[in-house]
Structures are given as structure tokens and as C-alpha cells.
Amino acid sequence: MTSLMAIRDMLALEGRLQAAQISQRTATPLPLVEAMLMRLEAMGRATCVAVEVDGCFSGQCRTCPEGKACQPRWWMLRQ
């Protein structure tokens, strides 16, 4: 089982990571990693950055039923 400090240290070393990457590297369930990242964000230690994807296949992101689910969410330490 991983801890908040381990996730914080991982973000400090890597710069930015996705929750799925952290989950895979620490062998921790994704929902738990996401909850820990949200806790770090609430504490003011981490921030979520949504990266704009230029290669939208349909060009209809505003009307897409998935919303912006195709855009990757990266986590990084707050400066």
C-alpha cells in the first residue's frame, strides 16, 4: 500500500504523472490513487492539469457525449 508521501515524492521526481501511471507503478488500485491525489489537491500540495488534445478526431468536442473525457489529466506538485 502506498502513502500520500510516496505519491508526493513520485510527483516531485517525475514532474507530472497521470493517476493511472501512479497506480501501475505503486500497484495500488486506481480509485485509491485518485482519492489520494484529490486529498493532496485539497491540502494545496498538488494540482491537476488538463492537457488540450489537438488531434480531436471528430472536431465536435463541445457536443461530444463524452465531454472532455478524452483529454488526459496530469497531476503535478504545486509550486
Locate cell 504523472: which residue? 17
Ligand-binding site membership of 61 (annotated): yes
Ligand-binding site membership of 70 (annotated): yes
Ligand-binding site membership of 48 (annotated): no
Q: How far apart are CA 27 and CA 43, in angstroms?
A: 24
Residue 2 C-alpha cell reads as: 502506498
Q: How far apart are CA 33 and CA 52, in angstroms?
A: 23
| Residue numbering of the annotated binding site | 56, 61, 64, 70
| Residue numbering of the annotated binding site for iron-sulfur cluster | 56, 61, 64, 70
